[in-house]
A and B are shown apart, each in its own frame.
Chain A
Amino acid sequence: MRLPAHLAMLGDAERSLALTHRAVTSEHAADADVVLACARFARQCDERAQAVDAFAAERYPLKGETFNPLVAPDFGRAEGDSIGLLRDLAALHQFATRVQVTWEHVEQAGHGLHDRGLIALASRGFGDLDVQVKWVKHRMKNEAAQALIATG
C-alpha cells in the first residue's frame, strides 16, 4: 500500500504551502488584503499538516517507502507591485491546486478502504483548499487588468 507515503508527502506539501503563503505576505506587504488572507491560509495549512500527520501516524504509518516531495514553484523574487503580485498569485494558485488534488486522491483511497475517518479528513482538506484556490483565482482576476495595462 502506498497510501502512507502519499499521506506523508501531503503533510509536507501543506507545510510548503504554508511557507508559500507566508512568502506572499512578506513580498506584498502593501497589499493588506493579500497579507491578511494568506496569513490565515498559512495557519490553516499548518493545522491540516498536523492533522494529516497525526492521522497517518495512528492509522497509516510510514513503512519505509517515501515519495518525492511536492516542490513549491519558484517564488517570491517578483517585484512588490501589481505585476509581481499577479505572478506570485499564479504560482500560489498552481501549488495550492496541486495540494488540493492530492487531498482528492486521499479521499478516493478512503472510499476504497471504507475508512470514514480518512474520507472526512480528506474531504475537509479538499474543501479548505477549494476555498484557497478560489480566493487566489478571484484575487488574480481582480489584479490582472491593472497589472498588465496600467503599470510600467
Chain B
Amino acid sequence: MTDLTAQERPGRDRITDIWGARTPFAAGEAWPDRVDEYLIDGVEADQVQNWVRGACLLCSNGCGLEVAVIDGRMVGMRGRADDRINHGRLGPKGLYGWQGEQEGRLTRPLIRRDGRLVETDWETAMGAIVERSKALLETKGPLSHGFYTSGQLTIEEYYTLCVIGKAGIGTPHMDGNTRLCTATASAAFQETFGSDGQFSSYTDIDSCDAIFLFGHNVAETQTVLWARMLDRLDGPNPPQLVCVDPRRTRVAERATVHLPIRNGTNLALMNALVHELITLDAVDHDYVDAHTVGFDDLARATSDATPEWAAEICGVPAEDIRRAAHIFASGERVVSTCSMGFYQSHQATAASCQVNNLHLLRGMLGRPGAGVLQMNGQPSAENNREAGCGAALPGFRNFENAEHVRELAALWNVDPLVIPAWSPPTNAMTMFRYAEEGSIGLLWIAGTNPAVSMPNLARIRSTLAGEQCFVVVSDGYLNETAELADVVLPTALWAEKTGTFTNVDRTVHLQEKAVDPPGEARTDLEIWVDYARRLGLKDKDGAPLLTWDTPEAAFEGWKACSAGRPCDYSGLTYEMLHERGGIQWPVNAEHPDGTERLYTDAEFPTHPDYCETYGHNLTTGTPVDRMTYLADHPDGRAVLKTVPYEPAYETPDEEYPFRLTTGRTVYHFHTRTKTKRAPQLQDAAPSAWIELSEPDALALGIREGDIVRVTSRRGHVDAPARVSHIRQGVVFAPWHYGSDAETAANELTVTAWDPVSKQPEFKVAAVAVQKLRDGDGPSPAPTITASAPVSKDDPWHGETNAAPPPSDAIASNSADVGSADGGR
C-alpha cells in the first residue's frame, strides 16, 4: 500500500472516479490493497478519536471498513486493508452514504390521531401496538399478523423476530423486501443444490479465465467487486468477459461478447447456451454422472433450443450466442454472476438454475476460479434468508420435514404445532394481498419502504392507508411508508448499534456500535424484545420465549440454531470478527477459520433428510412432494432442471410498443432514504430520468432533456429523457425516485412474479412513450455510467447511427446499443 497525502488519498472523489485507481494483478495473485478514505472537510485522520470496526451496509458486497468518530459523531470512513472483500477499497455509497444518517431522522415515536401522525412516547406507542396485537390474536388468531422486514437489519434482529413470529405468535406471514432483490438467488440454489447458500467465493475472481455476468450491472451495483474484476481485466492474462444485458453498461463496454438481449428473454438464451454445451459435448460426463441427476431431461428440454431459435427471440445474432457458449465450453475456470436482470423476471428461477446448470455440466464449481455467484441486492439479504425472518425456516430448514420442525421446537422449547409449517411460508406479495383484504389486521414493516419499492404502487399505498389493517413502521426516517402508518417507531441505524451481517459470498462481519442513535430512537432488537415481553410470549414451560436482550446474546441464540446446518455459525464469536474482519461461514469445529468455498467434494445438500426443499415445478411453482423427490434419488447429487421458454407476462403491442426495464444507478441505494441525504450522492443523481435509444428518440421527436411521459396499463411517470445507448425498443427508468408519484418507476410495473421465487417482474412491462414538452438542458442522469448519453465523441456512436437496427432487429455486439442493467 502506498503512503499518500490527504489530497492524493484515493477515495477523495468516488463520484467522478467511481472505481478508483487500478491495481492490476495476474491470475492466481492476491488482489493488491488500496485503502480508500473520506473524512468530512476540516477533519484530518490524526484528529479522529475512534476508528470503529465494521462493514459497509449499502450493498451486498459488505466491504470491511472503519468508522471515524469524533465527539460521538461520525466524521468519515476508511476501508480495511485486511478485509477479504475489499482490501481497503470503498465505493461512492460506502464513502459518502453514511452522511445520510445524520439528516432528517425520526427521534420520537409517532401515532395516528384523527388522521394525523403526532409525536408520542414509547409507552403509548408500544401500548397501542400490543393492544391491537392482543385483540387480533384473540379474535382472529395468529394469521392476523404479518411482518415485512428488510435486507438491512442484523442477524440478531432477524433471528429475534423469527422466534417471535414463528415460535411465539405462530404466523406464516413473514417476509422481507429481500423478496424483491434476492429471492431468486435463494430459490435457484434450493432447486439445484437442495439448499440455499452461496458456494463460491469472491476470490474466485482472482484466478478465473472467464467471467459471465448474467443481468448483473456490477459496475454500478457492487462497485468494489467491479474494481476487482477491472484489476483482473487490466492485469496480465485477463479473463474473457461475457455480459448479458439490454443496456450498454460499463461492464458491456469491457466485454469480449456483449449479448444485449431483449429484456424478458433470459431463459431462451440460457436454454440455447446449455443446448450448445451439450451439442459441443463440452460436458464433463464423469462429473455429471457422479454428481447430478436429470441430465437426460435437461438435454431433452433444450434439444430444440438452437442459437438460431434463441437469436430470433432474444434479438441478438446466433453467432454471438455461439461465441459466448464457446468461451464457456473452452474455459478452465469460469465464474458466473447472476443478478436482478435475471431475478426480476417471469422465469427468473428457471433462468438462474440454468446458470447453475452450465457450471454443473462442465464440473466447474467448488475449486478456485470456478463457480457461481448468485448475487444479492441488499447488504444483509442473506441473513433474512438464513435466520428465518423471511419466508423460510431458520438455518435453511425444510418446513416439509417434520424432523426439522421438531428440532426447532426443541431449541425454542415450544409445541411443534405452533411453528407454521402446514403450508409454504407466505411471500410478500401475498401478505400485501391479505393486508389489502384485512385478513392480516396488523402489518409490521421494519426498515423498508414498500410504498416506493413494491410493484403497482397505487395499490400498495391504498392498502397501507386503509382502515382494514393496522400498520406499524419501524424506521430511521419518516419515509413514504411511515407516512401511511398507524404507529411509527424511530430506530437506530447502521453503526448506531452492534450486530452482524453476511455478504453475498458468506462473509460475516461484525459492525460495532460507533455512535448513539438520535433522540429516543431504539434498535430493532430492543423494540422486538420489548414487544415480545409486553405480549407475554412464553415457551411451553411458561418461561419468557426470548432468552436474550443484547446483540451478543442474540447471536449466541442464532449460533445454536444454525449449528449442524449449511450456514453453521457455531464456531464464530464477536471477538474473532472484531480481530479478523470478515469470515466466511460455515465456521464450526470442523472449519474453525471459516470456509472459502463449498461443494469442493461435489457433495451437495440434497439428501432428503437434510435438504431445505424438495424443489418445485419451475413453470407453476407447485412444490414437488417428498415421494417424487425420493424417486429421483438426488442423495447428495445436484439437480439439473429447466423448463421451456415462455414470453413475458406483458409484451409490446401497438398501444404500448416499448419494453420497460427498471433498475438503479451507482449513486443511490434502494428508495434513496439514506443516499438522498448524502450531498455528494444526491448531487450526482438528483432526480429521475427516462432512458431511451437514439433511434427511438429520433422517431418520437425527443431530444436529450425533453420531458417525456412513459405510460403503462397501470400508470405513468414523467421525467426528462436521457438519449442513451440502451437497446432500441427498450426504455429504462431508475426506481429510486418514488417519493414523487410522478417519477416512481413502480407506478408502471406489472403485478406479476416468478412462480417459484415469487420475485416481482420489474424488468419487463409494455409501455408507450410520448414527449410532453421541450426540456431546458440535459437530463439529470449520471453521465459516466450505463446512463451515459450518446455523444459524438463516443466511438460507437457512428456505427449506431450508421445502421440503427429496427426495434425487432437483431442487435449485434459491435453495432448495437445495449447496456447492462443492474437492478435493486
- Contact pattern, B 142-158, Cβ under 8 Å of A = 1, otherwise 0: 01100000000000000
Evaluate contact between B143 and A145: CB separation under 8 angstroms: yes
Q: Which of B140, B141, B422, B751: most chain A Cβ within 10 A? A: B751
Residues of B within 8 A of A142 (CB): 423-424, 426, 430
Evaluate contact between A135 and B622: CB separation under 8 angstroms: yes
Give the residue name and chain of the B residue nearest to A32 (CB). Answer: B751
Residue B753 is within 8 A (CB to CB) of chain A in the complex: yes
Instruction: Report the separation of the CA atoms of residues A147 and B141 in the bound assembly, to the nearest whole angstrom.
Output: 12
Evaluate contact between B753 and A150: CB separation under 8 angstroms: no
Residue A68 is within 8 A (CB to CB) of chain B in the complex: no
Give A113-142 interface residues, CB cut-off 8 Å to B. Answer: 131, 134-135, 138, 141-142
- Known A145-B423, A150-B440; judge A33-B755 contact (CB<8 A): yes
Instruction: Say how far B626's CB is from chain A's closest CB, in angstroms.
Output: 14
Instruction: Report the separation of the CA atoms of residues A54 and B144 in the bound assembly, to the nearest whole angstrom.
Output: 51
Residues of B within 8 A of A149 (CB): 140-141, 143
Evaluate contact between A37 and B620: CB separation under 8 angstroms: yes
Instruction: Report the separation of the CA atoms of residues A86 and B422 in the bound assembly, to the nearest whole angstrom.
Output: 16
Evaluate contact between A131 and B622: CB separation under 8 angstroms: yes
- Known A135-B622, A145-B422; judge A30-B433 contact (CB<8 A): yes
Give the residue name and chain of the B residue nearest to A148 (CB). Answer: B143
Give the residue name and chain of the A residue nearest to B427 (CB). Answer: A33
Instruction: Report the separation of the CA atoms of residues A57 and B639 in the bound assembly, to the nearest whole angstrom.
Output: 41
Residues of B within 8 A of A31 (CB): 433
Residue B295 is within 8 A (CB to CB) of chain A in the complex: no
Partner of A138, one of B439, B441, B622: B622
Evaluate contact between B437 and A81: CB separation under 8 angstroms: yes
Evaluate contact between B617 and A146: CB separation under 8 angstroms: no
Evaluate contact between B617 and A131: CB separation under 8 angstroms: yes
Instruction: Report the separation of the CA atoms of residues A127 and B310 in the bound assembly, to the nearest whole angstrom.
Output: 27
Instruction: Say how far B136's CB is from chain A's closest CB, in angstroms.
Output: 9
Instruction: Say how far A93's CB is from chain B's closest CB, in angstroms.
Output: 13
- Known A37-B620, A37-B755, A138-B622; judge A150-B433 contact (CB<8 A): no
Residue A71 is within 8 A (CB to CB) of chain B in the complex: no
Instruction: Report the separation of the CA atoms of residues A144 and B423 in the bound assembly, to the nearest whole angstrom.
Output: 9
Instruction: Say how far B297's CB is from chain A's closest CB, in angstroms.
Output: 13
- Contact pattern, B 603-626, Cβ under 8 Å of A = 1, otherwise 0: 000000000000001011111000
Give the residue name and chain of the A residue nearest to B441 (CB). Answer: A150
Residues of A within 8 A of B440 (CB): 150
Instruction: Report the separation of the CA atoms of residues A141 and B622 in the bound assembly, to the nearest whole angstrom.
Output: 11
Instruction: Report the separation of the CA atoms of residues A30 and B758 in the bound assembly, to the nearest whole angstrom.
Output: 16
Instruction: Say how far A136's CB is from chain B's closest CB, in angstroms.
Output: 9
Residues of A within 8 A of B434 (CB): 82, 146, 150
Residues of B within 8 A of A131 (CB): 617, 619-620, 622
- Known A138-B623, A142-B423; judge A33-B437 contact (CB<8 A): no
Residue A51 is within 8 A (CB to CB) of chain B in the complex: no
Residues of B within 8 A of A36 (CB): 649, 752, 755
Q: How many residues of B contact A (CB 8 A)?
A: 32
Residues of A within 8 A of B438 (CB): 151
Evaluate contact between B437 and A134: CB separation under 8 angstroms: no
Give B386-440 interface residues, CB cut-off 8 Å to A. Answer: 422-424, 426, 429-430, 433-434, 436-440
Give B294-333 interface residues, CB cut-off 8 Å to A. Answer: none
Instruction: Report the separation of the CA atoms of residues A135 and B621 in the bound assembly, to the nearest whole angstrom.
Output: 8
Instruction: Say how far B436's CB is from chain A's closest CB, in angstroms.
Output: 7
Evaluate contact between B143 and A146: CB separation under 8 angstroms: yes
Give the residue name and chain of the A residue nearest to B140 (CB). Answer: A150
- Known A135-B620, A149-B140, A150-B140; judge A33-B430 contact (CB<8 A): yes
Evaluate contact between B751 and A150: CB separation under 8 angstroms: no
Instruction: Report the separation of the CA atoms of residues A146 and B621 in the bound assembly, to the nearest whole angstrom.
Output: 20
- Contact pattern, B 684-716, Cβ under 8 Å of A = 1, otherwise 0: 000000000000000000000000000000000
Instruction: Report the separation of the CA atoms of residues A145 and B425 in the bound assembly, to the nearest whole angstrom.
Output: 12
Partner of A150, one of B143, B619, B646, B649: B143
Give the residue name and chain of the A residue nearest to B139 (CB). Answer: A150
Evaluate contact between B617 and A30: CB separation under 8 angstroms: no
Residues of B within 8 A of A144 (CB): 423
Give the residue name and chain of the A residue nearest to B145 (CB). Answer: A150
Instruction: Report the separation of the CA atoms of residues A147 and B434 in the bound assembly, to the nearest whole angstrom.
Output: 10
Instruction: Say how far B408's CB is from chain A's closest CB, in angstroms.
Output: 19
Instruction: Say how far A14's CB is from chain B's closest CB, in angstroms.
Output: 18
Instruction: Say how far B631's CB is from chain A's closest CB, in angstroms.
Output: 15
Residues of B within 8 A of A134 (CB): 617, 620, 622
Residues of B within 8 A of A32 (CB): 429, 751-753
- Known A131-B619, A131-B622, A146-B434; judge A33-B439 contact (CB<8 A): no
Instruction: Report the separation of the CA atoms of residues A49 and B179 in the bound assembly, to the nearest whole angstrom.
Output: 37
Residues of A within 8 A of B426 (CB): 142
Give A14-67 interface residues, CB cut-off 8 Å to B. Answer: 30-33, 36-37, 40
Residues of B within 8 A of A81 (CB): 437, 439
Instruction: Say how far A143's CB is from chain B's closest CB, in angstroms.
Output: 9
Instruction: Report the separation of the CA atoms of residues A111 and B578 in the bound assembly, to the nearest whole angstrom.
Output: 70
Instruction: Say how far B16's CB is from chain A's closest CB, in angstroms.
Output: 42
Evaluate contact between B429 and A150: CB separation under 8 angstroms: no
Instruction: Report the separation of the CA atoms of residues A60 and B223 in the bound assembly, to the nearest whole angstrom.
Output: 65
Instruction: Report the separation of the CA atoms of residues A81 and B435 in the bound assembly, to the nearest whole angstrom.
Output: 12
Residues of B within 8 A of A141 (CB): 423
Give B576-593 interface residues, CB cut-off 8 Å to A. Answer: none
Instruction: Report the separation of the CA atoms of residues A135 and B624 in the bound assembly, to the nearest whole angstrom.
Output: 10
Residues of B within 8 A of A30 (CB): 433, 436-437
Instruction: Report the separation of the CA atoms of residues A138 and B434 in the bound assembly, to the nearest whole angstrom.
Output: 18
Instruction: Say how far B647's CB is from chain A's closest CB, in angstroms.
Output: 11
Instruction: Report the separation of the CA atoms of residues A81 and B140 in the bound assembly, to the nearest whole angstrom.
Output: 16
Instruction: Report the separation of the CA atoms of residues A40 and B144 in the bound assembly, to the nearest whole angstrom.
Output: 31
Residues of A within 8 A of B617 (CB): 131, 134-135
Residues of B within 8 A of A145 (CB): 143, 172, 422-423
Instruction: Report the separation of the CA atoms of residues A136 and B567 in the bound assembly, to the nearest whole angstrom.
Output: 34
Instruction: Say how far A30's CB is from chain B's closest CB, in angstroms.
Output: 6
Instruction: Report the separation of the CA atoms of residues A71 and B299 in the bound assembly, to the nearest whole angstrom.
Output: 40
Instruction: Report the separation of the CA atoms of residues A40 and B649 in the bound assembly, to the nearest whole angstrom.
Output: 10
Give the residue name and chain of the B residue nearest to A29 (CB). Answer: B751
Q: Which of A36, A141, A149, A151: most chain B Cβ within 10 A? A: A36
Residues of A within 8 A of B758 (CB): 33
Residues of A within 8 A of B753 (CB): 32-33
Residues of A within 8 A of B439 (CB): 81-82, 146-147, 150-151
Instruction: Say how far B187's CB is from chain A's closest CB, in angstroms.
Output: 15
Instruction: Say how far B439's CB is from chain A's closest CB, in angstroms.
Output: 4
Instruction: Report the separation of the CA atoms of residues A149 and B426 in the bound assembly, to the nearest whole angstrom.
Output: 15
Instruction: Say how far A144's CB is from chain B's closest CB, in angstroms.
Output: 8
Residues of A within 8 A of B751 (CB): 32
Residues of A within 8 A of B623 (CB): 138
Instruction: Report the separation of the CA atoms of residues A134 and B436 in the bound assembly, to the nearest whole angstrom.
Output: 27
Q: Which of A36, A141, A146, A150: most chain B Cβ within 10 A? A: A150
Partner of B429, one of A33, A82, A135: A33
Residues of A within 8 A of B140 (CB): 149-150
Instruction: Say how far B31's CB is from chain A's closest CB, in angstroms.
Output: 43
Instruction: Report the separation of the CA atoms of residues A131 and B623 in the bound assembly, to the nearest whole angstrom.
Output: 11
Give the residue name and chain of the B residue nearest to A134 (CB). Answer: B622
Residues of A within 8 A of B646 (CB): 40
Instruction: Report the separation of the CA atoms of residues A146 and B441 in the bound assembly, to the nearest whole angstrom.
Output: 12
Instruction: Report the separation of the CA atoms of residues A144 and B422 in the bound assembly, to the nearest whole angstrom.
Output: 11
Give the residue name and chain of the B residue nearest to A137 (CB). Answer: B622
Instruction: Report the separation of the CA atoms of residues A37 and B621 in the bound assembly, to the nearest whole angstrom.
Output: 10
A-B pairs with beta carbons under 8 Å apart, 5 shown? A33-B758, A131-B622, A138-B621, A145-B422, A145-B423
Contact residues of B with A, CB < 8 Å? 140-141, 143-144, 172, 422-424, 426, 429-430, 433-434, 436-441, 617, 619-623, 646, 649, 751-753, 755, 758
Query: Other CB < 8 Å A-B pairs besides A33-B430, A131-B622, A134-B622, 4 of them?
Result: A33-B755, A36-B649, A131-B620, A151-B437
Pick the 5 closest A-B CB pairs, nearest first: A150-B439, A32-B751, A150-B143, A135-B620, A151-B439
